[in-house]
Amino acid sequence: MGGTKSLMGLTVTISCLAGIPPLLVSDKIFRTIGHPNVQIIGFAVYLIRLIGYSYIDDPYLCLVYEVMESVTTALMVTSMMAYAAQLGTTTTVATIQGLICAFYYGLGRGSGTLIGGFLIKWFGSGNPDKTYGARATFRVLGVAAAITAVLYLGFNFFYSRYRIRKTSSSNKKDETLPPATAKELGINNPAFVVASNEELH
């Protein structure tokens, strides 16, 4: 589309600056809607962002979608790390966070670059429009993000509710057990599940 090197550098600047405000209020966001919901919203924003990229004709319009990286990267990655600290113990949290970084920045970005490049070449082969391969790839990845959001929503909605009910009933049956807090159970922020600490005792 004729984007310049200056524009490519500007996209990084815009995405980094846009990520600062959400990080300043990230703790309040996590406490209000919970980590699973942040991930689901992040995948939904990925859908909007990727589909949006596939339709732009002016390269400078990409700056609009780069602002969304404040959610898809800054907020999502911070939420993943905080959620790992919440679910893990003092002996496992560093390992969990290390695995997240390895999968996200290593395996994820590496395989994403490989698969994305393959899809761009595959969709674009034989097409006179040189941008078609990239546009089609963005749309496919957008659909993949939407499917991931739905699957993760279902997992949290059904599994987390089941886990809350199971823990609540077991604590009522055996009063000798120490009361489990929501933080210890790692279920104080499931998607669309509202359960106070008192309900879990």
- Output the CA–CA distances (angstroms, integers) from residue 126 to 129, 133, 143, in the order listed: 9, 10, 24
Structure tokens at 127: 């097409």
> pLDDT tens digit string along 100-122?
889 888 888 899 889 999 999 98
**Are 21 and 75 contacting, i.e. CB atoms less than 8 angstroms apart?**
no
25: phi then psi, degrees, rounded to nearest 5: -115, 15
- Name the residue among 128, 110, 129, 131 with its Cα closest to residue 120: 131
Rounded Cα distance between 129 and 102, Å, is 36
Is residue 190 a contact partner of residue 164, using CB atoms and an 8 Å limit? yes
Ordered structural domains, the chain, with CATH: 5-163 (1.20.1250.20)
Coil/strand/helix, residue 43 = helix
CA distances to 166, 185, 193, 194 from 199, in Å? 12, 13, 12, 10
Return the higher-pLDDT residue of 156 and 25: 25
List pLDDT tens digits, range 48-104: 999 999 999 888 888 899 999 999 988 999 999 888 888 778 888 888 888 888 988
Distance, in Å, from the CA atom of 125 to the CA atom of 128, rounded to the nearest integer, reads: 9
Confidence band for 40, pLDDT divided at 50, 70 and 90: very high
Contact predicate 7/60, CB 8 Å:
yes
- Give residue 171's pLDDT: 58
What is d(CA 186, CA 88) in angstroms, rounded to the nearest whole number?
9
pTM of the model: 0.76
Q: How many Å is the maximal CA-CA distance in the chain?
A: 73
3-state SS assignment for residue 192: coil
